[in-house]
């Protein structure tokens, strides 16, 4: 698998994080503290969700702009549900103008009051179309920035456009709307054909779900990297909520393990241990990585990184302090 989106020769962290924009001042203060610690681990990138749970463009851009001031490359999620072409082009341009060069192009979930299959889409019908549009807007912007080279005929120009990373979503256990594995693989292939160069997976609870999917995707001709999305599940309540949101099958063994221990602290340990086991199983080669869903908190993901031996020595976690 390729790592197209990284600067050549750059040392590569084998992990990245996802967070969402804070929706209150208190949440913003809390995120600020966690963000400092997440940045200190020097992940490959930090992605910021868009539109999910009512977040707006301005909130997402605020966090992304902050990340641009750190050494960690930000990745901007973009969803296209309900957009016209003009709106979509304008928003993409705004993000590019802000200095962003990494995107996670998504269709987005049905807005409130709509269900899958109803007419809630706008001009762009799928994530693949958004991938193409990001490439087109980026190419236009690159042309706009063409500079004449002094002393050379006007026809000779220098292109100063930067390369963009366009990631897309992948579903190891199938998108809820998909009818078959083949349809999921075709959708992923179509996204790559549209210009995507990285896939990030929906959460899954068994390593085999991911490993099998990657094998099937490779056989189907997908060549881009497929990063496993891993979420530490720290309580039975969170597990129920995530299963409801993603429509994944309930992992009954994990649920039983979480329910069989009494205290929140013991449940936290079960969840961390499960995420460590998952991570170890999917980190099979030196080029592999894990994408950790943080819920805007640093403790759990740092404990997972510590457990798999990926936490840099410069960062201390409560586990290390107590050791």
List residues near ligand FAD by CB under 6 A: 49-52, 77, 79, 104, 106-109, 126-127, 169, 175, 177-178, 183, 187, 200, 202, 229
What φ, ψ does residue 77 adopt, rounded to 5°? -70, 140
Q: Are 308 and 302 in contact (CB under 8 A)?
A: no
Of 57 and 280, which CB lies nearer to ligand FAD in the complex structure? 57
- The continuous run of DSSP H or E covering 245 comes out as helix 236-246
CA distances for 257 relative to 252, 253, 303, angstroms: 9, 6, 19
Of 194 and 270, which CB lies nearer to ligand FAD in the complex structure? 194
Nearest distance from residue 185's CB to ligand FAD, in Å? 10
Of 177 and 297, which CB lies nearer to ligand FAD in the complex structure? 177
Nearest distance from residue 200's CB to ligand FAD, in Å? 4
Helix (H, G, I), strand (E, B) or coil at 70: coil
Q: Which of these, 205, 173, 203, 175, lies nearest to 191 by C-alpha position? A: 175
Nearest distance from residue 257's CB to ligand FAD, in Å? 25
Of 79 and 267, which CB lies nearer to ligand FAD in the complex structure? 79
DSSP strand pairing (157-158 vs 165-170): unpaired
Exposure of 46 by Cβ count < 10 A (0-12 exposed, 13-18 middle, 19+ buried)? buried
Of 108 and 271, which CB lies nearer to ligand FAD in the complex structure? 108
Q: Are 250 and 236 in contact (CB under 8 A)?
A: no
Who's near 123: CB < 8 A, 6+ residues apart? 83, 84, 85, 88
Catalytic residue chosen out of the listed positions 18, 44, 129, 248 = 18
140 is catalytic: no
Nearest distance from residue 319's CB to ligand FAD, in Å? 27
Q: Are 211 and 173 in contact (CB under 8 A)?
A: no
Instruction: Give the separation between CA 167 and CA 41, rounded to whole angstroms.
Output: 22
Who's near 88: CB < 8 A, 6+ residues apart? 80, 122, 123, 124, 130, 133
Of 105 and 239, which CB lies nearer to ligand FAD in the complex structure? 105
Nearest distance from residue 72's CB to ligand FAD, in Å? 18
What φ, ψ does residue 182 adopt, rounded to 5°? -60, -40
Nearest distance from residue 266's CB to ligand FAD, in Å? 29
Annotated catalytic residues are 18
């Amino acid at each position: 698998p390729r790592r197209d989106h990284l600067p050549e020769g750059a040392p590569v962290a084998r992990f990245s994080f996802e967070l969402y924009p804070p929706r209150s001042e208190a949440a913003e203060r809390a995120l600020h503290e966690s963000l400092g610690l997440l940045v200190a681990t020097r992940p490959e990138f930090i992605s910021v969700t868009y539109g999910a749970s009512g977040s707006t463009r301005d909130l997402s851009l605020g966090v992304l702009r902050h990340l641009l001031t750190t050494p960690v490359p930000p990745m901007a999620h973009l969803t296209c549900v309900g957009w016209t072409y003009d709106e979509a082009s304008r928003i993409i341009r705004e993000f590019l103008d802000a200095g962003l060069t990494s995107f996670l192009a998504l269709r987005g979930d049905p807005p409130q009051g709509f269900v899958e299959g109803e007419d809630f889409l706008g001009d762009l019908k799928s994530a693949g179309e958004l991938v193409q549009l990001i490439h087109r807007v980026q190419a236009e912007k690159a042309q706009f920035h063409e500079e004449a080279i002094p002393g050379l005929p006007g026809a000779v120009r220098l292109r100063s456009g930067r390369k963009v990373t366009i990631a897309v979503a992948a579903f190891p256990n199938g998108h809820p709307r998909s009818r078959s594995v083949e349809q999921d693989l075709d959708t992923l292939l179509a996204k790559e054909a549209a210009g995507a160069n990285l896939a990030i997976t929906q959460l899954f609870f068994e390593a085999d779900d991911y490993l099998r999917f990657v094998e099937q995707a490779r056989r189907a001709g997908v060549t881009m990297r497929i990063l496993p999305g891993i979420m530490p599940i720290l309580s039975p309540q969170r597990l129920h909520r995530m299963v409801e949101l993603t429509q994944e099958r309930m992992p009954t063994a994990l649920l039983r393990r979480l329910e069989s221990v009494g205290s929140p602290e013991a449940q936290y340990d079960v969840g961390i241990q499960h995420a460590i086991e998952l991570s170890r199983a999917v980190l099979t080669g030196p080029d592999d990585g894990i994408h950790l869903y943080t819920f805007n908190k640093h403790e759990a993901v740092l404990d997972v990184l510590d457990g798999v031996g990926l936490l840099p020595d410069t960062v201390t976690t409560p586990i290390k302090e107590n050791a």
